[in-house]
Amino acid sequence: MSGPGWSRPSGPVPPQRDPAGPTHGFRAPAPPPTSMDLTASVRELLRRTIEAYADSPQAAGWLQHHLDRFGEPLRVAIAGKVKAGKSTLLNALVGEQIAPTDAGECTRVVTWYQDAPSPKVQVFPRNGPPRPLTISRNRGALSFDLQGMPVEQVDRLLVDWPSQSLRTTNLIDTPGIGSLSADTSARASAFLTPDDSPSPADAVVYLMRHLHAGDVRFLEAFHDRGVARATPVNTIAVLSRADEIGVGRLDALTSARRIARRYRGDEKLRGLCQTVVAVAGLLAESARTMRQDEFTALTELAALPRADVEAMLLSADRFGRAELDRPDSDTRIALLERFGLFGVRLGTTLIRQGVTDSSALTTELIRRSGLDELRTVLANQFAERRDLLKSRSALLAIDLVLTREPRPSTAPLRAEVERILAGAHEFVELRTLSALRGGAVTFSPDAAEDAERLLGGDGGSPAARLGLDPGTEPGELHAAAREALSRWKRRAESPLTGRSSADAARVVVRSCEGILASSAPYR
């Protein structure tokens, strides 16, 4: 899963080049290196490098691993501090309670979740072959233990689970950053920010309850650690446990979304992640896995006088100890564990307003939780860039091999790496987008927003780049692309535009030309 182990080379390792960075000193793109698209070029280069290192099993195996990754789903790691709600959000994205959410030993291990024909859980020891674990259910949630194996001896867990949500994306649950356990925190850091190799994950969803200095420090480290450094494009921040911001009030998520918008405008954070989304993870998980008996209990609560229900919901203790026949105390405590005070309050309110079946309630709770917005962002920012993100990791891997085991015969391969990095407009776009977000290049606020969108900051499709609806007719797309091209040509050629801004404008011009070509109406 994480690729073959590779010992660190003797002596210092020179800094590695990131195809999506740095965020300064970039130039307008050169012509594409070949007629093949980027993915085909990188895959061919991988094959040639594997052949060149056929006598080095470790290097060849490492490169073959990255070649195989092109045929795999996108890998998205979920990271954050302890109790940020990582496992809960993973369950919400999958739609099943397959990730342990308690403070057990399994939450201290990097755990991979992938689609498979049948359920299976395997533990991968640091030394020794993988072995299966017994799967059990505890109150509807998946449960498994390490069967006496010390956590320190575990490299990772692999959970196979039949799920449509996992067919295009492998989700990776990481231990809490900043844990009181130094070993647990080190596991997360080693996985997300390895010293001198690409991260096993293609993209990261970083959860935070508020924007603390520790969150910024981690994101900065995630960007700065050698070849593992990221760009804002493959990092999304989630304001998790959003319902707690308003202390469980019905307008809590409105407040959370307002805070997320403010974070999105933060200059520091803009250079570290693509966007910030507010999500009530517990509500999303419970809504996607809601049972009929829970809907029945919420309906019974909604039938009570509203003032009585609100009085009970002033605290968890009062809600559980209230003298009611139906729903009984045990049922109410179970509802609190699953939905929280906010979820119970929102669910009963929606039922009182006319939601009459569990399916409709599920849909409305999911929408209000912010999960739909997050899934849209994941689709637009990660899924559309799947091959680009994998190509980036592959080029980093090739560069690592060429640096660790330099040979005179591999000089053409290094030249090809340089040629792809210089000529692939996709990478130039990422560098320019990073420069804009990091403040290395400045435009007026409106122009900067326009440039980020045209560079793919809101999604890679022509409609997303032009700020139009997905169903916009080709003729309208083409006209909008022509207008954008003309607008940015004028800015690039203006004598009033500074050099770095002019270079960035020329990159936007090249993107507009690509949009124009891809949106040409059928003749």
pLDDT along the chain (523 residues), means of 10: 40 40 38 58 95 94 92 91 89 91 73 93 91 80 79 89 92 81 73 73 87 77 46 79 77 88 81 86 94 95 91 88 86 92 94 94 95 89 83 88 92 91 82 78 91 88 91 92 96 92 94 86 53
194: tokens are: 């390895």
With beta carbons less than 8 A apart as the criterion, state whether 122 and 131 touch.
yes
Note the pLDDT tens digit of each residue in 277-286. 999 999 999 9
Domains: count for the chain? 3
DSSP label of 153: G
pLDDT at 181: 64
Alpha carbon separation from 317 to 340, 355, 390 (Å, rounded): 12, 28, 49
Residue 73 buriedness (CB in 10 A; 0-12 / 13-18 / 19+): middle
**Shared-domain flag, residues 183 and 203:** yes
**Shared-domain flag, residues 362 and 297:** yes
Residue 316 maps to a domain:
yes
Residue 349 buriedness (CB in 10 A; 0-12 / 13-18 / 19+): middle
- In terms of residue numbers, what domain contains 125? 74-280+371-383
**Shared-domain flag, residues 144 and 200:** yes
With beta carbons less than 8 A apart as the criterion, state whether 336 and 319 touch.
yes
387: tokens are: 């091959």
**Shared-domain flag, residues 126 and 217:** yes
Name the E strands within 161-202. Answer: 169-173
With beta carbons less than 8 A apart as the criterion, state whether 196 and 16 touch.
yes
**Shared-domain flag, residues 440 and 512:** yes
Residue 9 maps to a domain:
no
**Shared-domain flag, residues 268 and 354:** no
Residue 134 maps to a domain:
yes
Q: What is the DSSP string of 217-230?
A: HHHHHHHHSGGG--
Instruction: Give pTM, 2 decimals.
Output: 0.81
pLDDT at 27: 35
pLDDT at 278: 93
With beta carbons less than 8 A apart as the criterion, state whether 268 and 242 touch.
no
Cα angle 48, 52, 57; round to 5: 115
Residue 211 maps to a domain:
yes
Rounded Cα–Cα distance for residues 430 and 259 (Å): 26
Residue 288 maps to a domain:
yes
**Shared-domain flag, residues 132 and 241:** yes
The residue among 324, 355, 383 that closes a domain is 383
Rounded Cα–Cα distance for residues 269 and 461 (Å): 25
Residue 494 maps to a domain:
yes
**Shared-domain flag, residues 120 and 258:** yes
Residue 393 maps to a domain:
no
Residue 458 maps to a domain:
yes
- Break the chain down into helix, strand, coil percent, rounded to 5: 55, 10, 35
**Shared-domain flag, residues 133 and 201:** yes
**Shared-domain flag, residues 146 and 269:** yes
**Shared-domain flag, residues 301 and 263:** no
pLDDT at 269: 81
**Shared-domain flag, residues 346 and 365:** yes
The residue among 322, 344, 369 that closes a domain is 369
CATH number at residue 110: 3.40.50.300
- Token look-up 């993988």 returns 130
Rounded Cα–Cα distance for residues 331 and 150 (Å): 36
